[in-house]
Amino acid sequence: MQDDYDQRLSEWARTYNGYERLAGGPSGLATLIEPLEREFEQSRRIPEWAGVELLRGWAFWLVRSHHHSGYAPLSEEYPQILAIAETINRHPGCRDTDRAPKR
């Protein structure tokens, strides 16, 4: 069942092109999300200051990274994708079109 949810998360994350919408390309997006990743690695929490657009860009980045290197299921390789989806769905600035699929 987790594989099905990972697939739905992957499909959802790909609907937001973080390269185009946030950063102009992979290196720019990597620079933008680096503070998010660093804070998540240290605290295992999504930073409160992160907005919906940045979180969508991060989810897109993870799915693109998984596409290039993923041998394990998405949520195993990048467990932060689950926290990102939950945070977006609870965020006061989240629109219906931003919502991640529910488990």
Q: What is the pLDDT of residues 31-64, one digit of tens each?
A: 999 999 999 999 999 999 999 999 999 999 999 9
**pLDDT value for 52:** 97
**pLDDT value for 69:** 78
Residue 72 lies in a domain: yes
pLDDT at 68 over 60: yes
Domain that holds residue 12: 2-98
Q: Tokens in use for 66?
A: 């998984």
CB 54 within 8 Å of CB 33: yes
Q: What is the DSSP letter of 75?
A: H
**pLDDT value for 33:** 96
CB 5 within 8 Å of CB 75: yes
CA distances from 60 to 1, 10, 26 (A): 22, 8, 11
**pLDDT value for 2:** 64
pLDDT in tens, 6-36: 999 999 999 999 999 999 999 999 999 999 9
The total of structural domains in the chain comes to: 1
Residue 69 lies in a domain: yes
Residue 29 lies in a domain: yes
CA dist., res. 66 & res. 100, Å (int): 18
Residue 103 lies in a domain: no
Name the band, by pLDDT with cuts 50, 70 and 90, for residue 75: very high
Q: Tokens in use for 93?
A: 């600035």
CB 12 within 8 Å of CB 56: no
pTM: 0.93
